[in-house]
Structure 1
Amino acid sequence: MTESTKPGNWWDPFPAPRHTADLISREEVLSRLSDPTLLLVDVRRTDFEGGTIRGSLNLAAQSFYYNRGPVYDLCKRAGVKQVAFYCGSSNGRGPRCSGWFADIIAEKGDTEIQSLTLAGGIKGWVKGGEEYTKNVEMFEPEYWTQFN
């Protein structure tokens, strides 16, 4: 493969986020899993790989940019006040999507919705131990051994 034919990064066609979202800790998320004002969004492409945090919506990062407006509208109608994005470790896809969501919140001039990134992503969540893993739907313990 020559340099000119190498595939680019999945995010290359999209603008860089203009905003950076604050972090939310796994402890706070755990304490608010039943809180309807907090929406968790798993932006990993492979739906439920190893499991996903209970109640999360799966929206692949690769398609999120085009869906940020409809997600914002749905959150407004549903009374969601905080949207927390995560991926594997929340170092790439999660912060990028939360930044794009923060951008649309700013474009709307909205001060009632906040975009967040789950610190440590789902890997950090699982490392929290049984208190956290019992709140992972379709939890596959053997999948997570590769990250120890």
Structure 2
Amino acid sequence: MSLTVADLKYLDSAQLYQWIKQNASSSGSKFLVVDVRDSDYVGGHIRGGLNVPSSTVKSQLEPLFNRLLENDVKDVVFHCALSQQRAPSSAMLFIRYLNQQNSDLTKGLKIWILKGGFVKWQEAYGEDDSVTEAYEKDIWRYGY
């Protein structure tokens, strides 16, 4: 079964927050947060996330795929600053790559976009260092 654009789902910050908290207690399913911000990857990031700048996504598809295989990941959450362009585009590149692989990995794999991106995330959880790393409030004070 091939994944398509219809398989892209949106996840809000509160849901991702719960996933992280459940994962910390070892009762959650395995997921990976992929932050595709480029030079705007400053002022904080989601704890445990992987920064794959959108300008490098094409060259990082195989390593990303291998990481999913090695860690038995079932959910991949892409985000950028607002999750309006780079995150969905990167997620679609990844879906196309997955569809070319001869692997059962795509069975049960879910691809998500973080609704509102890091901008919304930091509004709710920026100062919570249990879920956000390297947060610099002054960078976000005046909005994105």
Give the TM-score normalised by the residue count of structure 2. Answer: 0.80
1:25 aligns with 2:12: yes
Counterparts of 1:1-148 in structure 2 under 5 Å?
A: 19=5, 21-33=8-20, 34=23, 35=28, 37-46=30-39, 48-108=41-101, 110-128=106-124, 132-133=125-126, 134=128, 135-147=131-143
- How far residue 36 of structure 1 moved from its aligned partner, in angstroms, is 5.9
Q: 1:102 touches 1:114 (CA, 8 Å); kept in 2?
A: no
Superposed CA deviations along residues 16-74 of structure 1, whole A, max 9, x for unmatched, are xx635211111111001134611001111137401001111111010011211221122
- Structure 1 runs not aligned, ≥5 long: 1-17
Q: How many residues align?
A: 128
Q: Percent identity?
A: 24
Give the TM-score normalised by the residue count of structure 1. Answer: 0.78
- Structure 2 runs not aligned, ≥5 long: none
Q: Whose RCO is larger (CA < 8 A, sep 6+)? A: 2
- Between stretches 93-102 and 28-37, larger displacement belongs to 28-37
Q: What residue number does 1:5 align with?
A: none
Q: 1:101 touches 1:115 (CA, 8 Å); kept in 2?
A: no
CA distance in 1, matches of 2:142, 2:99: 39
Instruction: Give the SS at the match of 1:32.
Output: helix
